[in-house]
Amino acid sequence: MKLASIRLHSLPPGRGYQALVSTALLTLAFLPGCAWSAAAAAGQPREGWYPRLIEFAQVRENVDIPPKKGVLLVDSRPAARQFDPGHIPGAINIPDTQFEKLVQKLPEDRATQLIFYCGGLECMLSHNSAFKAEKLGYSQIRVYAAGMPDWKANGGTVAISMAQVRKLIEEKAAHTLIDARPKRVADKGMIPTAINIPDTEFDRNVDKLPADKSTLLVYYCGGLECVLSEKSADKARKLGYTNVVTYPEGYPEWEKAHGAAVAGPSAAAMGGAAPAATAATLQPGKEKGSVSVASFQQVWREAPTSLMLVDVRDPKEFAAGAARGSVNLPINDLEKKADSLPADKPVVFICGTGARSGEAYDLVKMLRPQLKAFFLDADTKFAADGSVTISEKK
């Protein structure tokens, strides 16, 4: 150890010296019995930390689209507030609080390299999950203790989830959603509101990008095996855009969850806006004000942002399971909040049996008769994953 130190200090300062020092320290970190450790490199080891740690450079080597074979990154943070808005590309989300429920998301091969991370040096979620995975028999586990804050500080690229894409669309947040696939592919179906800028035609379509280079740009393409969105995102960053993310799972995941989406030409013709599926698209059901199950499911599948789905059940029921993209407005609060309902798109009320949704329809039509309001008169079962099973009443 002393010999290594003397040799380092005997070298003249400069880039070569700094590189050699860095290399030497990284080497020392992995020498058996050495006072240095990966934990020390990431910060002083703390009580309760998982012992085998990893740093940014090593994580970066294992981050790629398509994902690197034999390696799985696991984000241990909560989904909606932290993972969805931004995570390391290719990572899956298993919140530590739901580890036992979601353990099936881990690979069957116990020799797979697992890299857990969360919200930084003060966050214990990744360490907790790593210990749990070890008890399950996984043998190749590392924790990126510095986590997401360090990843972003070092310029690591950021991905967002399908839930976040949908949230951006529904809330009409300032962003530009860009399909990087070839036009002939995008024309068969794109995510609502997206514009098509094929990666191979990026340079010829720069004028389609927003003038404000701080605008959020969201690139997607054909899934985790497709590199087009990553390539286009990198080109946008080189042009000076400062808020660029990708949705790596892309159109395949979106289509699986929502069905066939808006065709490319329609979206382009509307300047990237979602098509207007109006009240005329929703066919009436048997009861006055109701909508047929078939027509509702078609609109909700093909153009979910073209209407507002309002779940009038109690908050506790809603928290246990609700339709993706729906908002909760309990029937008891509806009279006070009726003015918050949009007048520019259909509003469809939903509950478990059609009783409360029908009551909501009657109340809203009395308070705001001009609204395009409907209700679903059906037996509906809600799952925790956002899916619903709707049965037409006989």
Domain that holds residue 167: 162-269
Q: What CATH number is given to the structural domain containing 114?
A: 3.40.250.10
Which one of 246, 269, 292 terminates a domain?
A: 269
Pair (252, 295) in one structural domain: no
Which one of 128, 153, 178 terminates a domain?
A: 153
Pair (284, 258) in one structural domain: no
Residue ranges with strand state E in the chain: 71-75, 92-93, 113-117, 141-144, 175-179, 195-196, 216-220, 244-246, 308-311, 327-328, 347-350, 373-375, 378-382, 388-392
> How confident is the model over 202-211, as pLDDT tens digits?
999 999 999 9
Query: Cis peptide leading into 13, omega within 30 of 0?
Result: no
Pair (245, 368) in one structural domain: no
| 329 within a domain of the structure (yes/no) | yes
> How confident is the model over 349-371, as pLDDT tens digits?
999 988 889 889 999 999 998 89
For the entire predicted model, the pTM comes to: 0.59
User: Are residues 364 and 345 in contact, defined by beta-carbon separation less than 8 angstroms?
Assistant: no
SS3 letters across 99-110: HHHHHHHCCCCC
CB neighbour class for 74 (10 Å; exposed up to 12, middle 13-18, buried from 19): buried
User: Are residues 76 and 126 in contact, defined by beta-carbon separation less than 8 angstroms?
Assistant: yes
Pair (42, 109) in one structural domain: yes
- Does residue 29 register a pLDDT over 50? no
**Range with top average pLDDT, 9-23, 156-170, 253-267, 295-309:** 156-170
- Residue found under tokens 């054909």: 222
Number of domains making up the chain: 3
User: Are residues 301 and 257 in contact, defined by beta-carbon separation less than 8 angstroms?
Assistant: no
